[in-house]
Structure 1
Amino acid sequence: MSALLDRADQAVSATTMARTFGARLKEVTNGDVPHVVVVKDNEPAAVLIGVNAYQAMQDEIDDLRAELLAIERLHSLDENETVSLEDMAALFN
């Protein structure tokens, strides 16, 4: 959790965030700051990030899930039931 607060200017109280949302949003969307951590009751409560950063994280999560699925499926791979790339291409040409 401490990685969220690597710079003091990235943390803002919920009250301050409510008053300065437009400016904070502009900082994030312009790339001036990578994210803003909203703190409530002295604990991180939310993170504001730009759409590009969010999409990049989602893409990476999707890639990692696909990789994990492929690794898991390799354990049950039966070499006798596999089809070569050449054979598969011949089926569809």
Structure 2
Amino acid sequence: MLLDRADQAISSTDLQKNTKALLDRITSGEQDRYVVIRDNRPAAVLMPTERYEAIMNELEDLRIDALARERLATLDESTSLSHADMLSYFEKAD
């Protein structure tokens, strides 16, 4: 959901006119996000960088999890090595 409250919506004109004040509210934590409306449609979301980075990190974790689950589903145990076998193999390589 893009908007939880009406005060999260701002027009692109308001963004142009009040950029400093809006960024100050975002960086201070007063506002968690703004949804920029242009031509009566959501055009962008303005949020603190920490929140954006957290979202991107979580997305990456979910992608890795999905890939691991996919690989586990197609695992051929007849050709796989145990963790102990891998340790033994790499210890001999030293």
**TM-score (ref. length: structure 2):** 0.88
Pairwise CA RMSD? 1.1
3-state secondary structure, aligned to 1:81: coil
* Separation in 1, partners of 2:28, 2:7: 15
In the alignment, the residues of structure 1 paired with residue 27 and residue 86 of structure 2 have an alpha-carbon distance, to the nearest angstrom, of: 46
Q: Which runs of 5+ in 1 are unaligned?
A: none
The answer as to 2:73 corresponding to 1:68 is: no
- Aligned structure 1 segments of 4 or more residues deviating by more than 3 angstroms: none
Give the alignment's TM-score, normalised by structure 1: 0.89
Which of these residues, 8, 21, 25, is aligned with residue 10 of structure 1?
8
Q: Which has the larger radius of gyration?
A: 2
Identity of aligned residues (%): 45
**Is 1:27–2:25 an aligned residue pair?**
yes
- What amino acid is aligned across from residue 51 of structure 1 in structure 2? T
Q: Structure 2: 5+ residue runs without aligned partners?
A: none
Deviation readout 1:45-85 (Å, 9 max, x if unpaired): 11101111111111011111111111111122011111111
